[in-house]
């Protein structure tokens, strides 16, 4: 038998096993490795702190998504020996492979910043990028009476780069509903010059922050969290005081990537931008947050990549040329509070613009504009994720490559 091994059974790894399990030629078998029995719907971590979702709504057993003909191993991955086509597992076993897909994602690393994971971690310094962090923050906010809340991004890239903005919009809404908005000073602190990475969207989203009375401090490169005096301090000496800090720590690829000598400074794997083949080894492919491609680290991106990577894995096995089809396509709903949302659709070359999606003129979704329907789209995404995306079922009318239909651009 020839072995296709998938490392990681999160969004991307699960989609890949479901796409491939009945498409591989005879003589191939799939083995998947993951250390964690629980699959988390990470976009739900945004809603947990505000009591919009419950714990149960954001998690399911991983085993529920594993096809019967896939060999699933629940253990840690220690390192990849790419020279000898082998993976070392933390249970002491070795796993040989013919073809490897790395889908080990990214995680928060608060220990990268002095003082961040200090005595006040999950007391008045919180994250909402992990299940535990999001829950602790929810429990804290339930009884918080107000003060200075600082929402902070440590450095890019981060998963779902719009999530911190969404957090600010939802916080404004949440404190208003609780009747304590006047007691809460919201400040958004970012290493970027504006609200977002792409200029047009940044302008619109920056305006929304302004409208909702959120102060913005840009170009802030954090040096340390001063737990005692409750302030964050930048390298150039700017100090921002807080009563509660909601931070997005450095996002990093898994330690097994570093141990394998396959990653960059942040343990992301250098990956061909359009074929998703590892730049160093031709029988290794990379998908989702684990890559270093300059696309958003998002479940929607993993979904588009999975459709393209499936074709390329089958082409590689058949000895055919790979298709350079991944264009960086990302499609993200942005929750803006008060039951409304925005939608952005973009790729490596085309920044988000206004228009309609997925149909020109008809929509029904509005691009880069607030609407109630976009909010419902965001909430419906959870059902689509559990019932379609993870199972490898394509979403009708939405192609992995970005379509220019309905987009208001003068030149493409
Ligand atoms: C707060 C928040 C909001 C978000 N909102 C959105 C959104 O609205 N829309 C959107 O599209 N995306 C959103 N995302 C991003 C999205 O969840 C991720 O981009 C997506 O889950 C990435 O999939 P992945 O498979 O690459 O990584 P993951 O889903 O994180 O999976 C990685 C898997 O690898 C396993 N693993 C890693 N290392 C090892 C090891 N050494 N041994 C064994 N197993 C290992 C892990 O256990 C995990 O199961 C959000 C993320 C967050 C945190």
Model confidence pLDDT, tens digit, residues 205-231:
999 999 999 999 999 999 999 999 999
* Residue 37 DSSP code: S
- Give the pLDDT mean for 7-25: 98
* Residue 307 DSSP code: H
Q: How many CB atoms lie within 10 A of CB 6?
A: 27
pLDDT at 1 over 50: yes
Q: Is the CB of 168 under 6 A from ligand 1?
A: no
Strand ranges (DSSP E) for 244-313?
244-248, 251-253, 284-286
Distance from residue 11's CA to the centre of ligand 1 (Å): 6
Supply the pTM of this predicted model: 0.97
Alpha-carbon distance values, 121 to 137, 221, 365 (Å): 11, 20, 39
Strand ranges (DSSP E) for 75-137?
77-81, 86-89, 94-96, 99-102, 106-108, 125-126
Compute the distance between CA of residue 307 and CA of residue 31 in angstroms, rounded to an integer: 19
Distance from residue 126's CA to the centre of ligand 1 (Å): 19
Which residues, at least 6 apart from 148, have a Cβ–Cβ distance to it below 8 Å? 184, 185, 187, 241, 242, 243, 244
The residue whose two tokens read 């989203």 is: 205
Q: Is the CB of 158 under 6 A from ligand 1?
A: no
Q: Is the CB of 135 under 6 A from ligand 1?
A: no
Q: How many residues does the chain have?
A: 412
pLDDT score for 133: 98
Q: Is the CB of 130 under 6 A from ligand 1?
A: no
Q: Is the CB of 103 under 6 A from ligand 1?
A: yes
- What would the pLDDT profile of 361-392 be if each residue is shown by its tens digit? 888 999 999 999 999 999 999 999 999 999 99
pLDDT score for 199: 82
Report yes or no: 313 and 99 within 8 Å, Cβ to Cβ. Answer: yes
Distance from residue 392's CA to the centre of ligand 1 (Å): 16
Q: Which atom of ligand 1 sits closest to the CA of residue 254?
A: 38
pLDDT category, 114, cuts 50, 70, 90? very high
Report yes or no: 233 and 189 within 8 Å, Cβ to Cβ. Answer: no
Torsion angles phi and psi, residue 178, rounded to 5: -80, -5
The closest of 387, 393, 404, 405 to 307, measured between CA atoms, is: 393
């Amino acid at each position: 038998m020839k072995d296709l091994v998938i490392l990681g059974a999160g969004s991307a790894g699960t989609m890949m096993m479901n796409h491939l399990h009945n498409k591989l030629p005879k003589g191939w078998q799939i083995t998947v490795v993951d250390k964690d029995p629980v699959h988390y719907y990470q976009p739900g971590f945004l809603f947990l702190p505000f009591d919009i979702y419950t714990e149960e709504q954001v998690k399911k057993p991983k085993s529920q998504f594993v096809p019967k003909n896939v060999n699933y191993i629940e253990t840690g991955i220690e390192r990849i020996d790419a020279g000898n086509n082998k993976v070392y597992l933390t249970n002491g076993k070795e796993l040989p492979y013919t073809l490897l897909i790395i889908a080990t994602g990214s995680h928060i690393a608060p220990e990268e910043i002095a003082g961040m994971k200090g005595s006040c971690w999950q007391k008045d310094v919180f994250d909402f990028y992990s299940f535990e962090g999001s829950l602790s923050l929810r429990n804290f906010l339930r009884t918080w009476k107000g003060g200075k809340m600082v929402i902070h991004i440590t450095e890019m890239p981060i998963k779902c780069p719009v999530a911190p903005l969404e957090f600010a919009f939802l916080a404004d809404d949440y404190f208003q509903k609780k009747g304590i908005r006047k007691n809460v000073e919201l400040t958004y602190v970012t290493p970027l010059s504006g609200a977002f990475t792409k200029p047009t969207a940044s302008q619109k989203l920056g305006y929304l922050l302004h409208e909702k009375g959120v102060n913005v401090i840009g170009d802030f490169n954090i040096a340390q969290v001063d737990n005692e005096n409750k302030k964050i301090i930048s390298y150039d000496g700017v100090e921002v005081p807080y009563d509660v800090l909601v931070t997005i720590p450095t996002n990093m690829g898994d330690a097994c990537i570093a141990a394998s000598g396959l990653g960059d400074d942040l343990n992301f794997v250098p990956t061909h931008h359009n074929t998703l083949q590892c730049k160093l080894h031709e029988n290794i492919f990379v998908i989702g947050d684990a890559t270093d491609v300059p696309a958003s680290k998002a479940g929607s991106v993993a979904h588009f990549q999975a459709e393209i990577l499936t074709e390329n894995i089958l082409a590689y096995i058949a000895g055919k040329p790979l298709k350079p089809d991944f264009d960086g396509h990302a499609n993200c709903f942005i929750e803006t509070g008060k039951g409304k949302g925005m939608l952005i659709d973009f790729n490596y070359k085309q920044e988000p613009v206004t228009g309609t999606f997925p149909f020109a003129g008809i929509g029904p979704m509005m691009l880069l504009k607030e609407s109630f329907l976009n909010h419902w789209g965001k909430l419906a995404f959870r059902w689509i994720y559990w019932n379609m995306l993870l199972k490898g079922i394509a979403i009708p009318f939405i192609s992995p490559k970005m379509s220019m239909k309905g987009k208001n651009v003068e030149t493409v």
